[in-house]
Amino acid sequence: MKNPFAGLFRARDKPRDVVSAATTFSFGGSSAGKSVTPRNAIQVPVVYACVRVIAETIASLPFGVYREAPGGSLKAPEHPLYHIVHDEPNSEMTSFVWRETMLTHLLLWGNSYSQIIRSGRGRIIGLYPLLPDRMEVDRDDRTGRLIYTYSTTNGEAVRLRPEDVLHIPGLGFDGVMGYSPIAIEKNAIGLGIAAEEYGSKFFSNGATPSGILTHPNTVKNPKALREAWMEAYGGSSNSNRIAILEEGMTFTRISMPNNEAQFLETRKFQVSEICRIFRVPPHMIGDLDRATFSNIENQSISFAVHTIRPWLVRIEQAMNRALFSEKEKGVYYVKFNLDGLMRGDYKSRMEGYAIGRQNGWLSANDIRTLENMNPIQDDQGGNVYLVNGNMIPIQAAAKAKAAENTGALPEQNKQGTSEDGDPTANPEPGNTAGVRPADPAVNTVPHTCHDYEVSGQTRSDARFEHEESNTEWR
């Protein structure tokens, strides 16, 4: 039955007016007086280094399609999407280049768009990245669905359906559109641009502060005098030249020296400031002022956990949502392998492998696989799991404790004879001749007896433990 009130109320989850009413951030002028856009921001060395290290790190990680299985996740190379995301998303680029381009768009514009190319049967056969500055996102007034309009190089507007666009938004307020880190932090980046431009002009003037030429009389053509002075002494190629002043002219410096303006300190601070924007440790972009051999490994692991991993989750979930059909969701999924970035130094890895090997949850082939080494054959014990011989199940330890509290003999009868008829296994009280050491295959074995002598001492009704290597039996 049709709802008679359907036309009176609008569902909150189906907006029909605008994409979002959230606050927007735009490129443009900064407090330092410099216009900031993605194209001139990438020319700042720190911005370029941060974008490059994040984009290249994620693009170089192993990436593929996996399938849920009863025994765990398995690679699914048989899936048509595996070859696209792992090797070749389209005929013009590799998977590395495609992912590197996506991350560059995300880090500079805050959004990444890729056109999904499908066959006549709806199968995905290609993914092409689209420039974010040419994409407009709007809503259909009639259906409320998102509409993606892309402007081509010849000015043609191409309208794309949501199912034909892989849209990965960055940080935002509405969950639909992401915000550009460059637009949000344009004042910090603008200060870096201004400091770099100041340094460039400082050295273009021969690293000589500006000043005033004073002539005792009237100068008829001051413009010609200024140009002659700049031609003779301006520029870094004319630095340290000796000036000749004629007709009683004097030169007075009016600008502050470079060290008084704290030029270098400002530039160093901007390096840390921009690194904070992208959450990149300074040592990753070559700033080693505060890096030491003791903390650089932890900083690298922190970079993998707190910087790279959130981007991976964002990309994975967006791809799982857009690239798989409803029947495939929950069965197939894309996944990055972050294990390579989490590896410690050689000594730490070997110590961790030793713990896993000794406790039985790593085999020799498991360790060799993690180290990219060829496996050992089964007949040589490559897939054997080992544990220490002195470890016993916790249930056996509980039974032994209960037997100690009750005085029972769990493995021996109280007639002085073991289950196999050996009269020396449990000697009668006062009989020490029948006491024998434990099985040498076991390091520490509990014994229960009545009268015995150990190292010249006589004890009664005691439970003791001995080690064959350091206990004297008489």
Q: Do 166 and 214 reside in the same domain of the chain? A: no
pLDDT tens digits for range 16-55:
556 655 667 888 888 888 899 999 999 999 999 999 999 9
Is 364 within the bounds of a domain?
Answer: no
Q: Which pair of structure tokens corresponds to residue 110?
A: 């805050």
Question: Locate tokens 């989750």: which residue?
Answer: 313
Does residue 138 have a pLDDT over 70?
yes
Helix (H) or strand (E) holding 159: strand 157-160
Q: Do 443 and 297 reside in the same domain of the chain? A: no
Helix (H) or strand (E) holding 252: strand 250-253
How would you class 67 by CB atoms within 10 Å of its CB: exposed for 0-12, middle for 13-18, buried for 19 or more? middle
How many beta carbons lie within 10 A of that of residue 334, not counting itself? 22
Is 373 within the bounds of a domain?
Answer: no
The pLDDT value recorded for residue 174 is: 83
Which of the four pLDDT bands, split at 50, 70 and 90, describes residue 431? very low
Q: Do 214 and 198 reside in the same domain of the chain? A: no
How is 95-150 classified by DSSP, letter by letter?
HHHHHHHHHHHHHHHSEEEEEEEE-TTS-EEEEEEE-GGGEEEEE-TTT--EEEEE
pTM to 2 decimals?
Answer: 0.67
How is 151-180 classified by DSSP, letter by letter?
E-TTS-EEEE-GGGEEEEE-S-SSSSSPPP
Residue 36 contacts residue 109 (beta carbons within 8 Å): no
d(CA 425, CA 435): 7
d(CA 410, CA 403): 6
The pLDDT mean for the chain works out to: 78
Query: What Cα–Cα distance (Å) separates residue 350 from each residue in 353, 356, 368, 370, 383?
Result: 5, 10, 11, 11, 18
Question: Locate tokens 């050996």: which residue?
Answer: 422
Q: Do 101 and 187 reside in the same domain of the chain? A: yes
Question: Locate tokens 């990965």: which residue?
Answer: 168
* Backbone phi, psi, residue 342, to 5°: -90, 0
Q: Which pair of structure tokens corresponds to residue 30?
A: 């900064």
d(CA 188, CA 363): 52
Domain boundary among 284, 316, 344: 344
Q: Do 84 and 152 reside in the same domain of the chain? A: yes
- Cα torsion angle, 355, 360, 364, 369, sign: negative
Q: Do 177 and 229 reside in the same domain of the chain? A: no
Which of the four pLDDT bands, split at 50, 70 and 90, describes residue 254? low
Those residues whose C-beta lies under 8 Å from the C-beta of residue 289, and which sit 6 or more positions away, are: 268, 282
* Burial readout 197-220 (b: 16 or more C-beta within 10 A, e: otherwise): ebbeebeebbebeeeeeeeeeeee
Q: Which amino acid is at 394?
A: I
The pLDDT value recorded for residue 389 is: 72
Q: Do 156 and 293 reside in the same domain of the chain? A: yes
Q: Summarize the confidence of residues 221-248 as an average pLDDT.
A: 70
Q: Do 298 and 314 reside in the same domain of the chain? A: yes
Domain boundary among 303, 319, 344: 344
Q: Do 111 and 185 reside in the same domain of the chain? A: yes
Is 8 within the bounds of a domain?
Answer: no
pLDDT tens digits for range 160-191:
999 999 999 999 888 889 999 999 999 999 98
Least confident of 22-26, 74-78, 168-172, 197-201: 22-26
Q: Do 218 and 331 reside in the same domain of the chain? A: no
Three-class DSSP category at 355: helix
Question: Locate tokens 């921001």: which residue?
Answer: 41
d(CA 57, CA 336): 11
Give helix 45-60 / helix 263-278 axis angle, nearest 10°: 30
Q: How many domains does the chain have?
A: 3
Domain boundary among 257, 291, 324: 257
Cα angle at 270 between 268 and 276, to 5 degrees? 115
Q: Summarize the confidence of residues 117-130 as an average pLDDT.
A: 93
Is 349 within the bounds of a domain?
Answer: no
Q: Do 282 and 146 reside in the same domain of the chain? A: yes
* Backbone phi, psi, residue 194, to 5°: -65, -40
Is 241 within the bounds of a domain?
Answer: yes
Strand stretches in 293-336, DSSP E: 332-336
Is 180 within the bounds of a domain?
Answer: yes
Q: What is the helix, strand, coil percentage profile of the chain, to 5?
A: 35, 20, 45
Does residue 9 have a pLDDT over 90?
no
Q: Which amino acid is at 164?
A: D
Position with higher pLDDT, 230 vs 281: 281
d(CA 233, CA 243): 7
* Backbone phi, psi, residue 404, to 5°: -65, -40
Q: Summarize the confidence of residues 363-371 as an average pLDDT.
A: 87
Q: Do 240 and 109 reside in the same domain of the chain? A: no
Domain with 413, as residue range(s), is 394-467
